[in-house]
Amino acid sequence: MVKYELNLRDYLRIIRKRQFVIIFSSVIFTLGALFYISSRPPLYEANATVKIEERKSIAGLLTEIVAFSPGDIMETQTKVIKGFPVIKRTALRMGLIDENTPPEKVYAVVGNLQSKIDTKQVGNTNIIKITAVSSDASSAVKLANAVAASYIEENLLEKNKQARTSRKFIEDQLASLEKRMHTAEDKIKVMSKDIKNINIAPDVQDKLTQLTFELASLSQKYTPKHPKVMQLKEQIKQLESQLRGFSGKELDYARLQREIEVNKKIYAMLRQKLEEVRITEAEKVPDVSVVDPALLPTAPVNAQSKITVFTGSILGIIVGMVLAFVAESLDTSMGTIEDVESALGISVLGVVPSVTHDKEHKPVGFIEKLKRDLIFKHRKDEKETNYIRLISHYNPTSPVAEAFRSIKTNIMVSRMRKTIIITSAGPQEGKTTIFMNLGAFGRYSAGCGGYNAGQR
């Protein structure tokens, strides 16, 4: 029986008392760990590393097109590698699917490959490690290298996609600009027939053309409220105010001339950009390169049997201790001396071991007693009974006699009353034996008497 408040001594007592439960639990968990090790398939791990570099186009196109990309670039790329496009390309490369595979199977195959792939940035570098896990060593190597190659292809495809988008945009701008230029040229031809002598200040006209071109260039980089843009607009207004003395047709003619000149410069600039974009689109140099290809692993990664067995044993001990304390808390019996002392609140004076002997009055061990009781049906006679009841007299050096001597000593030094009742819950439990052996020691003490008053 366990007290409500336990100290370290109580915990140690419970562990000793329930040690079989703890040992049994530890053995079960250890055997379970061994079974798990023997039944699980080996897993092999292959690693390939890729390096990511931001390459600029030959003409510096990337410095012209500014894109805001929030977040960590390397962390983003680790997710891109495990993304659907790259893994689907990997499945196509490995022959697991083809272009005619149903979408359901494609998603299943891609999901299975994604569960076998892990990506991680190597330190604070621009290198990403691609890890592939498989039950077959060669399959792990093929998968890691296929993912790396597919990622490079997807990166190059994305890079060319940006160049194609830029080329399409520039071509559309050129077509629109050509149309405006043709319209302006047609108008100025008609006006030149009506106005024979047009003499607008050439310096002012050239200055307006230059400022208008600069304004068009700055408008691609800055907003209309930017100080540089507003300053150019103010200068253009001042120059236009100087031309107010001319007639309306003359001013329209001057504006058309400026528009044509500006459009020609913009057209030339866009043509140059178009050639640069075409060169970039033709480039086959990706931003990703393989640093270390995956090599064939020599041993499975889950072969750490010692750690698994040790973990199972420790877990078994922990579970066994929990079960031991639960069993102790549910157990209301008194099986140890500590239980008796805890339940009754008194001290135990001593413990008398089981008394057995042969005909020559020599002590008999437990195994011999078991043989006699089970095989030979040994029965106690009167001589044997007297020997047991007076073992302190017949064999004063035996452990049993020493136990009675210890009880007698504890009684003598205790503060309890010296009148003692020896009782038990049932017959044939040793009341008379204890009474007679204590009496045998008591004959050497003055003022000691005994009375056997057995009542049934």
One DSSP character per residue, 262-282 reads: HHHHHHHHHHHHHHHHHHHHH
DSSP of 200-254: --HHHHHHHHHHHHHHHHHHTTS-TTSHHHHHHHHHHHHHHHHTTTS-HHHHHHH
Using DSSP, state whether 104 is helix, strand or coil.
helix
Strand partners, 129: 49, 120
Summarised one tens digit per residue, pLDDT across range 94-132 is: 989 988 889 999 999 999 999 999 999 998 888 999 999
Does the CA dihedral 259-265-271-277 come out positive or negative?
negative
Can you list the positions of beta strands (E) in 262-340? 288-292
Neighbours of 433 (CB within 10 A): 20
Token pair for 417: 């009353």
pLDDT of residue 169: 84
Pick the closest to residue 288 from 88, 93, 48 (CA basis): 48
d(CA 435, CA 421): 9
Phi-psi bin for 406: left (phi > 0), alpha (psi -120 to 50), beta?
A: alpha
Residue 412 CB contacts under 8 Å (≥ 6 apart), including other chains: 445
Assess contact for 144 and 132: CB atoms under 8 A: yes
C-alpha to C-alpha distance for 319 and 28, rounded to whole angstroms: 11
| Residues whose CB is less than 8 angstroms from the CB of residue 168 and which lie 6 or more positions away in sequence, other chains included | none
Averages of pLDDT over each 10 residues, the chain, 456 residues: 61 84 91 80 88 62 44 83 92 90 92 92 90 90 93 84 79 83 75 55 63 72 78 73 56 69 80 79 74 87 76 91 86 71 76 63 51 48 67 78 82 72 78 78 58 60
Q: Which DSSP category does 41 fall into?
A: P
Are 87 and 151 within 8 A, CB to CB?
A: no
pLDDT at 455 (0 to 100): 58
Q: Which residues are paired to 357 by β-bridges? A: 363
pLDDT of the residue at 128: 93
Q: What is the per-residue pLDDT for 3?
A: 47
pLDDT at position 197 is: 47
Quick one: pLDDT at residue 369? 52
Give the pLDDT score at 285.
67
- Amino acid identity of residue 109, one-letter, is V
Does the pTM surpass 0.85? The reply is no
Residue identified by tokens 């507003």 is 230
